[in-house]
């Protein structure tokens, strides 16, 4: 599958609509309903990809109330968006990607008290590629380290849903809409719309995302794996740890035994010799 069937017209043409979040319902900040879960969707624009030295130039976040039973978006409880002056020049490459210029951020700073207030009310924090965003948030905001993070790339099985790519822009297009990408709040609005999108015959992605956010997760590492097995590990989505020099990935508990069997048969000549460590919920997607 690429495009959802309902987006394809009888003449096989595709018509996309532009989404910018204008239909979201605003809820009071003291909103409470035991049948909902509060999810903070956030996105950052930064001066680069190095989470230790690059700086945030824009933050956007929305606290959404999601129905626990069907994954519907009930409404938006709180939101915040701001530029942030990194006190260094933004490279032309970043400006070309984000549209953010040095003039845009001049004199602006993030209000971390407001951001803390939003995160404090959230049951989980969600980003598309959460490892990236969390790396920056943990560095700037101690509260971030205490939260349960979920990733709309890894905590939703997009391939099982019929999509063979995980990029937010292409997923949105395949669902029939587009948006002004690489600006933080537009990305947030589009992500909320994407995961709460009603697809005939499927549970909403938001339900899978919420369920997986609290599911026991394990890091499995191919310790001392033979060099010639690196391509096998790559194909199975293992990542290379350059410091500790081993291949690893995170998996859910229901996949643990089958993954150990695969590693034993394909990496260790019949006997599992890898390492398995359970990841605390609040440690998921930490750098």
CATH number assigned to the domain comprising residue 248 = 3.30.70
Q: What is the mean pLDDT of residues 155-161?
A: 95
Q: What is the pLDDT of residues 234-256, one digit of tens each?
A: 999 999 999 999 999 999 999 99
The answer to whether residue 204 scores a pLDDT higher than 70 is yes
20-24, 33-37, 191-195: least confident range? 20-24
Question: Are residues 169 and 270 located together in one domain of the fold?
Answer: no
Say which residue the tokens 């933050």 belong to.
Answer: 59
Residue 176's domain spans which residues? 5-213
DSSP string, 138-189: HHH-GGGGGSPEEETTTSS-TTTTT-S---HHHHHHHTTEE--TTSHHHHHH
Question: Are residues 265 and 159 located together in one domain of the fold?
Answer: no
Torsion of CA 60, 64, 69, 70, to 10 degrees: -60
Among the three residues 162, 182, 213, which one is the final residue of a domain in this structure?
213
Question: Are residues 139 and 221 located together in one domain of the fold?
Answer: no
The answer to whether residue 87 scores a pLDDT higher than 80 is yes
**Exposed/middle/buried for residue 124 (C-beta within 10 Å: 0-12, 13-18, 19+):** buried
pLDDT at 7: 85
**Which of 156, 168, 254 lies closest to 208, judged by CA?**
156
Q: What is the mean pLDDT of residues 200-209?
A: 95
Among the three residues 213, 232, 254, which one is the final residue of a domain in this structure?
213
Among the three residues 186, 213, 240, which one is the final residue of a domain in this structure?
213
Please work out, in degrees rounded to the nearest 5, the angle formed at the alpha carbon of residue 227 by the alpha carbons of 225 and 233.
65
Residues 6 or more apart in contact with residue 5 via CB below 8 angstroms: none
pTM beyond cutoff 0.95? no
Q: What is the mean pLDDT of residues 181-203?
A: 93
pLDDT at 5: 82
Question: Are residues 235 and 248 located together in one domain of the fold?
Answer: yes
pLDDT at 1: 58
Contact 122, 98 (CB under 8 A): no
Mean pLDDT score across all residues of the chain: 95
Question: Are residues 49 and 183 located together in one domain of the fold?
Answer: yes
Select the more confidently predicted residue: 22 or 86.
86
CATH code where residue 42 lies: 3.30.420.10
Q: For the chain, what is the domain count?
A: 2
């Amino acid at each position: 599958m690429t495009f959802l069937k309902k987006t394809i017209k009888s003449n096989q043409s595709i018509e996309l609509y532009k989404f910018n979040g204008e239909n979201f319902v605003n809820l009071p900040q003291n909103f409470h309903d035991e049948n909902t879960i509060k999810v903070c969707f956030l996105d950052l624009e930064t001066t680069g990809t190095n989470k230790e030295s690059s700086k945030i130039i824009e933050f956007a976040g929305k606290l959404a109330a999601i129905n626990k039973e069907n994954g519907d978006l009930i409404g938006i409880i709180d939101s915040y968006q701001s530029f942030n002056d990194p006190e260094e020049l933004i490279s032309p490459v970043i400006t070309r990607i984000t549209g953010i210029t040095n003039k845009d951020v001049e004199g602006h700073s993030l209000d971390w008290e407001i951001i803390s207030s939003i995160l404090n009310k959230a049951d989980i924090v969600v980003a598309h590629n959460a490892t990236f965003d969390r790396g920056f948030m943990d560095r700037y905001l101690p509260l971030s380290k205490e939260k349960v993070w979920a990733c709309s790339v890894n905590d939703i099985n997009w391939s099982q849903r019929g999509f063979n790519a995980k990029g937010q822009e292409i997923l949105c297009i395949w669902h029939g809409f587009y948006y002004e990408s690489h600006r933080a709040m537009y990305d947030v609005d589009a992500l909320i719309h994407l995961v709460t999108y009603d697809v005939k015959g499927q549970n909403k992605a938001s339900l899978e995302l919420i369920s997986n956010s609290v599911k026991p997760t394990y890091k499995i590492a191919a310790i001392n794996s033979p060099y010639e097995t690196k391509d096998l590990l790559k194909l199975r989505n293992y990542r290379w740890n350059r410091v500790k020099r081993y291949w690893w990935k995170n998996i859910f508990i229901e996949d643990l035994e089958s993954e150990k069997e695969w590693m034993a048969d394909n990496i260790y000549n019949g006997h599992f010799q890898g390492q398995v460590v359970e990841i605390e919920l609040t440690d998921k997607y930490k750098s």
